[in-house]
Chain A
Amino acid sequence: MKVLIANTREPFIFGGAEILENDLEKKLIELGHQVDKFIIPFDHSNLESVADQVAFARNVQIPNTDLVIGMRFPAYLVQHQHKVIWLVHQYRQMYDLLGTMHSPYTTDPATLKKIHEMVKIDQISLLEAQKVFTISDLVTRRLSSYVGIKGKTLNLPPRDSLLITNSDSKDERKEFLLLPGRINRMKRQHLFIEALMETRSPIKLLIAGKSEDEKYLDQMKNFVHRNNLSERVRFDIRFLPESDLSVITNEAIGVGYAPLDEDAYGLVTIEAYQRSRICLTLSDSGQVAGLVKSITPEFVSLNEKKKIAKMLDWLYENPADRILIEKSLSGALHDFLPTWKKILGELIS
């Protein structure tokens, strides 16, 4: 079957959605399908630009494909009689985030009218899809409350052929907690740094990822400097290829990931478990907390410095117990998440 993946790219930001898109492409090809991609840039710095891009996506015609799989707004607006959507997230800035600091739009009547028009197109595009799946229960709930569409959750599967550096040698553990991924305020790396002030143990942090907010990064660096934490917090600010992540995850005694109210289980969490590392998170981290609760409930903490510090100390002070837990993580994850086979069965049936 000819399958066209329609996805949106925020220019020069590479994250979980791009990885998911690439994995989906790979698995479809493995099943013998012909796959091609429609990738459009999405610049939402102002409403006029969003309106142009909505029109753009809506105008694209793809007469020679059997199926379109749409993933993100506005790419999934593309019109096709056989369209399914695997929704990564909606464009929340025109829904629940409207009127908050996270949306760039004002709420005067003229703006609201324009937003309303785009919401209408969004709804029509979702309704015309033959089926709408989402990547988490949270996205399914939002879809139902914003648009009134009942979607079906197809949670993220484990990463396929993820690079895993495997070595049991204790010398390679460097007694730091790894905080991987993009660096911005929503990902809240600073909470772990602040918690270091409350730890008993000398546990260290390695913050490794691409910075999307220089001001935020500077604030963290200043905090480290002011509080004499330079020996304990290291920054590796760049996009890390999978091979590098695999090596440093193997060296770490655990992974920390505490984004605010995250949409999905998160690839950081999933990859940590596949690489047999405990993942620390917070109870207000949305679906990430949901996954950690199901695998290792003791590593979901309240968003309080002392409580976070306690988890950090436990990792440092209990290597034997830690290693015992590590051995069960990958298996537990695979039991809990759907397989690619199931996902492709649903998307293509």
Chain B
Amino acid sequence: MKVALVTSIYPFVLGGARNIVDWLAKELVERGHEVEVFTIPEYDLPDLVLLQSYNMRLMKLDKADKVITFRPQSHLIQHHNKTVWFIHHLRTFYDLWDSSYRDFPADEIHKGIRRELMYLDTKALAEARAVYSNSKTVAARLKLYNNIDSQVLYPPLFDPKEFRFKAMNNEIVYISRLEHHKRQHLIIESMRWIPKPYTLRIVGQASNLEYFKYLEDIVQNNNLTDRVLLENRWVSEEEKVEILSQCWMNVYIPLDEDSYGYPTLEAAHSGKATLTLQDSGGVLEFVVDKVNGIVAKSDPKDIATRISEVIDLGIAESLGSSARERINELNINWDSVIERLLK
């Protein structure tokens, strides 16, 4: 089948949506499809959003048997066989309208832009053969704002075979960008109450050095230097595979994340459970408390209590193997993703 993948891009910023497109393209080619990827620059600016939306209506892709769209406003393209894999809305015009993220006034002009954008989105989404969302959170927003029913289609990892269980040492790991909303500070603080010989390894790139300094201070002030390894650097895939294959438990505790997050999935493929928090959003679609991981309150003391419980009961390994089973339960694999997208 001739499949065109269309996505908008924010030039020079790499992120999750691009991975999905690139990986899907490779998987489709492997299955014998002809694939083209089109990348259109788009900016989340009030002055540009409508122009960009109308512009997308001009794109012609009649030569494709199927068009799959991703990041907004790519779903506005007109095609007789369009499937939308909806990653997110232009959120400052939707759920973040009443938040500090909106950096323009809610005056008549901007309200008008918002109304027109919602109208265009709803119209274009209704034209699609199928609409998939990448999480229940996004599906709920599609229902609320556009009255569009969507099915949740979870993005798999590109090459999950790499990840495997080798052993279980005493290390709790959190591999992710060092960002305030990823809340590395909570897990570091919880180490005050987590018994020896358990240690914590936090590694990832910080976009903001202040937050890294802040984390370093927590380690220092609590005399945790010999039990917490904190590194501000990029981690290669090979190294990540190795760390997860050996660790005791994984941590992924972002604030109100849209989807379950690749770290959760990488740990599960390595047979390791993930600790997350009650307000971590999409992660809770994957992690079920005491079944395949831990869901704690967003409080260092509670995190410590819950981790100590796992230690006392000796259930880390069984939680880990349930996490791996969870991948199949949710049908997270390329075969089923592609079957549903091309249907």
Contacts and interface: CB of A to CB of B under 8 A. Distances in A.
Interface size class of B (residues with CB under 8 A): 20 to 34
A71 to B, nearest CB: 14
Given A9-B38, A12-B34, A12-B36, A2 B11 contact: yes
A12 B2 contact: yes
A37 B14 CA distance: 12
A23 B62 CA distance: 28
Interface in B1-59: 2, 4, 9, 11-12, 34, 36-41, 43, 48, 51-52, 55, 58-59
Given A56-B55, A59-B58, 6 more contacts: A12-B64, A36-B11, A40-B59, A41-B60, A43-B62, A43-B63
B61 interface: yes
B15 to A, nearest CB: 12
A34 interface: yes
Contacts of B55: 55-56, 59-60
Interface centre among B2, B12, B51 (most CB of A within 10 A): B12
B244 to A, nearest CB: 29
Contact of A36 (B12, B38, B51, B61): B12
Contacts of A60: 40-41, 55
A59 B57 CA distance: 12
A49 interface: yes
A4 B60 contact: no
A59 B51 contact: yes
A12 B43 contact: no
A97 interface: no
B2 A11 contact: yes
Contacts of B64: 11-12
A56 B59 contact: yes
B35 to A, nearest CB: 9
A64 B12 contact: yes
For the residues of B in contact with A, the DSSP-based class is mixed
B325 to A, nearest CB: 37
Interface string A57-85: 00111111100000000000000000000
Contact of B63 (A11, A37, A38): A11
Given A52-B60, A60-B55, A11 B36 contact: yes
Nearest to B2: A12
Contact of A12 (B41, B58, B60, B63): B63
A53 B60 contact: yes
Contacts of B51: 59, 61
Nearest to B10: A64
A40 B59 CA distance: 8
A62 B59 contact: no
B59 A11 contact: no
Contacts of B58: 52-53, 55-56, 59
26 contacts: A4-B41, A11-B36, A36-B9, A36-B41, A37-B39, A38-B39, A39-B37, A40-B59, A41-B4, A41-B60, A43-B60, A43-B62, A45-B62, A52-B59, A53-B59, A53-B60, A55-B58, A56-B58, A59-B58, A60-B55, A61-B51, A61-B52, A62-B11, A63-B43, A64-B11, A65-B11
Given A11-B36, A64-B12, A38 B41 contact: yes
Contacts of A53: 58-60
B41 A61 contact: yes
Given A37-B39, A40-B38, A62-B41, A11 B61 contact: yes
Contacts of B11: 2, 4, 36, 38, 62, 64-65
Nearest to A40: B38
Contact of A49 (B36, B39, B40, B60): B60
8 tightest A-B contacts by CB?
A: A11-B63, A56-B58, A43-B60, A52-B58, A36-B11, A59-B55, A49-B60, A62-B41
A4 to B, nearest CB: 6
Interface in B58-85: 58-64
A49 B62 CA distance: 10
Nearest to A37: B39
Contacts of A34: 12
Interface centre among B12, B60, B64 (most CB of A within 10 A): B60
A244 B43 CA distance: 41
A316 B284 CA distance: 70
Interface in B289-337: none
Contacts of B48: 61
A9 to B, nearest CB: 6
B64 to A, nearest CB: 6
B51 to A, nearest CB: 6
Contacts of A38: 11, 39-41
Contacts of B4: 11, 41
A62 B10 CA distance: 9
A214 to B, nearest CB: 15
Interface in A9-60: 9, 11-12, 34, 36-41, 43, 45, 49, 52-53, 55-56, 59-60
Contacts of B39: 36-39
B61 A65 contact: no
A43 B12 contact: no
A41 B61 contact: yes
A49 B34 CA distance: 23
Nearest to A61: B48
B186 to A, nearest CB: 34
B56 to A, nearest CB: 8
Interface centre among B37, B38, B58 (most CB of A within 10 A): B58
A4 B62 CA distance: 26
B41 A41 contact: no
Contacts of B62: 43, 45
